[in-house]
Amino acid sequence: MSTIEQNPPSPGGPPSAPPPAAKGRGAGAAAGIVWTLAPYVVSVLLAFLVGGALIQAMGYPAVDALEAVLTSSFDSRFGLIETLHKWVPIVLCAYAFAIPLATGKFNIGAEGQMLLGATGGAAIGITFSDLPAIVLLPATLVAGVLAGAVWAGIAALLLVRFRVNEVLSTVLLNFVSFKLIDWVATKVWPDAGAGHPATTPVGEGARLPLIGEAPGLHSGVLLVLALAIFIAVGMRFTPTGFEMRAVGDNPRASLINGVRTSRLAGAGLVLGGGAAGLAGAIDVAGVHGRMLEGMQSNFLILGIIVGLMARGSMLALPFVAFGIAVLEFGAGTMQLVAAVPVEMVLVIEALILLFLLLSDLVRNRLRGAA
Instruction: Output the pLDDT for position 23.
Output: 55
Instruction: Output the pLDDT for position 25.
Output: 64
Q: What is the pLDDT of residues 253-265, one digit of tens each?
A: 888 888 888 899 9
How many Cβ atoms are within 10 Å of 175's Cβ, its own excluded? 11
Q: Classify residue 141: in a domain, yes or no.
A: yes
Q: Classify residue 237: in a domain, yes or no.
A: yes
| Overall pTM surpassing 0.95 (yes/no) | no
Range ranked top by mean pLDDT from 15-24, 235-244, 358-367: 235-244
Confidence of residue 37 (pLDDT cuts 50, 70, 90): confident
Q: What is the DSSP letter of 206?
A: G
Instruction: Output the pLDDT for position 255.
Output: 84
CA angle 4, 8, 13 (to 5 degrees): 135
Q: Classify residue 212: in a domain, yes or no.
A: yes
How many Cβ atoms are within 10 Å of 185's Cβ, its own excluded? 23
Instruction: Output the pLDDT for position 11.
Output: 46
Q: Classify residue 261: in a domain, yes or no.
A: yes
Domain that holds residue 278: 83-313
pLDDT average, residue stretch 7-19: 49
Q: Identify the residue with better confidence: 26 or 366.
A: 366
Instruction: Output the pLDDT for position 69.
Output: 95
Q: How far is CA 21 from CA 123, 218, 319, in A?
A: 61, 49, 33
pLDDT average, residue stretch 352-370: 84
Is 90 exceeded by the pLDDT of residue 9?
A: no
Instruction: Output the pLDDT for position 363.
Output: 78
Q: Classify residue 349: in a domain, yes or no.
A: no
Q: What are phi and psi of 190, to 5 degrees?
A: -75, 145
Q: What are phi and psi of 123, to 5 degrees?
A: -60, -45
Q: What is the pLDDT of residues 129-183, one digit of tens each?
A: 999 999 999 999 999 999 999 999 999 999 999 999 999 999 999 999 999 999 9
Instruction: Output the pLDDT for position 29.
Output: 66
Q: What are phi and psi of 210, to 5 degrees?
A: -95, 145
Instruction: Indicate the helix (H) or strand (E) that contains 210.
Output: strand 210-211
Instruction: Output the pLDDT for position 5.
Output: 43
Instruction: Output the pLDDT for position 21.
Output: 54
Q: Classify residue 363: in a domain, yes or no.
A: no
Q: Classify residue 309: in a domain, yes or no.
A: yes
CB 79 within 8 A of CB 329: yes
Structural domains in the chain (count): 1
Is 70 exceeded by the pLDDT of residue 109?
A: yes
**Integer Cα distance of 290 and 280 in angstroms:** 10
Of 57-61, 98-102, 268-272, 363-367, which gets the smallest average pLDDT? 363-367
Q: Classify residue 252: in a domain, yes or no.
A: yes
